[in-house]
Amino acid sequence: MPPSDTSPSRPPSVLVLTKNEEINIERCLDALAFSDDVVVLDSGSTDRTIGLAEGRPNVRVIHRAFDTEYKQRNYGLHDIDYKNPWLYICDADERVTDELRDELLRVTNDASLDHVAYRLRYKNYFMGRWIRRSSGGPVWIIRLVQPEKVVYEQRETNVHPMVDGTTGELDGQFAHYSFNAGLVRWFSKHNFYSDREAEEAAKVRGKGLPPFSDLTRGDPIARRRALKNLSFFLIGRPLWRFLYSYVWGRGFMDGRAGFQYCCMVSMYEYWIELKTREIRARWEDKPLELGREGMAKETAKGGGR
């Protein structure tokens, strides 16, 4: 059913979370020109991000200090007044393609659809090409929502939205340029993410092995989460992750970019494993204890090799 004449076509509002995204913000906002209400929710950029975002007629910049990801995202959903009933959520290193834009405009104006949220896929770009297979796709994520029907779960990172209603699927995909800010940024970010994932993994492992039946229950996102929780118990998780994405996921078909990407993700998995070990074996204060022991033992008569 086409949009009726009585209710003129309304684009979704857009929420963009930023911090120091001067490399990305212009191209990101260029691709969001279809919306009359783009909100940049910035958590303390110290580069040119804000200056580059302001001054566009369809863009507002709102500031909020970052505390945790789910609080930041929930603030973006519930504490900002949007002009439009639908909200598209976007990161600065993502580009809405023309096909996706057309689909967003279509589904948000189609009164025959009664979904309150939509999930979609994305194309990861690395070393100048779409790394279609190595990035383990397709991953479905919820990005188009009616904000009042959705709340983000309380988790350390990689938070998923919980939807009160049905979720539809979009064919269009956005392009994801997570390497624009350079690999140093990717390493630093993944160092940070792996801290959070390790805390999560330590919690999951502390509770003991979850039931395998979780793997077949719930929607794809819940099943993915169950698989992840189980995987925290694997020995040699980084290697398994590499084989999963490079061999089983056919990452080798993405050429050199695919190989490097699979190795990098494996390194990230290794960091999670390392930090999970750090938490579970309580490395934190051991050096202090060992130091005191050493001072007592390493006298002229004894100790030390």
Partner 1 sequence: MDRPPRQPAPMPEGYDPAEAGRFLEDGPKIDVMIPTLNEAHHIAEAVANAAMIGRVHVLDSFSTDGTQELAREAGATVVEHEFENYSRQKNWGLNNLPMEGEWVFILDADERVTPRLAEELIRVGRSGAPEAGYFVNRINLMMGRPIRFGGLYPSWNLRFFKRGQARYEDRKVHEHMFCDGPTAHLPRRARMLHIRLETMSDYVQKHVKYADMESDEWVRLALNPDQWKREVEQFPPAQRMRLWLRRRVTPGLPFRPAIRFLYMYLVQGGFLDGRAGYHLAMLMADYEYMISLLFKEKLERARREAKGQSAVD
Binding site for partner 1 (CB under 8 A): 23-24, 27, 95, 125, 127, 177, 180, 182-184, 187-188, 191-192, 194-195, 198-199, 260, 263-264, 267, 270-271, 274-275, 277-279, 281-284, 286-288, 290-291, 294-295, 298-300, 303-305
Residue 104 or 257 having the CB closest to partner 1? 257
Closest CA to 53 of 82, 17, 79, 81: 17
Closest approach of partner 1 to the CB of residue 140, in Å: 24
Closest approach of partner 1 to the CB of residue 242, in Å: 13
Closest approach of partner 1 to the CB of residue 182, in Å: 7
Residue 144 or 181 having the CB closest to partner 1? 181
Whole-angstrom Cα distance, residue 48 to residue 216? Answer: 47
Closest approach of partner 1 to the CB of residue 125, in Å: 8
Residue with tokens 């030390």: 304
81: left (phi over 0), alpha (psi -120 to 50) or beta: beta
Amino acid at 151: V
Start-to-end CA distance of the chain, whole Å, equals 81
Residue 44 or 220 having the CB closest to partner 1? 44
Residue with tokens 């857009």: 14
Residue 8 or 304 having the CB closest to partner 1? 304
Copy the structure tokens of residue 298. 């390493």
Residue 65 or 281 having the CB closest to partner 1? 281
Closest approach of partner 1 to the CB of residue 6, in Å: 41
Residue 248 or 283 having the CB closest to partner 1? 283
Q: CB pairs under 8 A, 24+ apart, for 217-221?
A: 219/167, 220/140, 221/119, 221/140, 221/142, 221/160
Residue 93 CB partners (closer than 8 Å, separation 6+): 21, 24, 28, 176, 177, 178, 180, 181
Closest approach of partner 1 to the CB of residue 135, in Å: 16
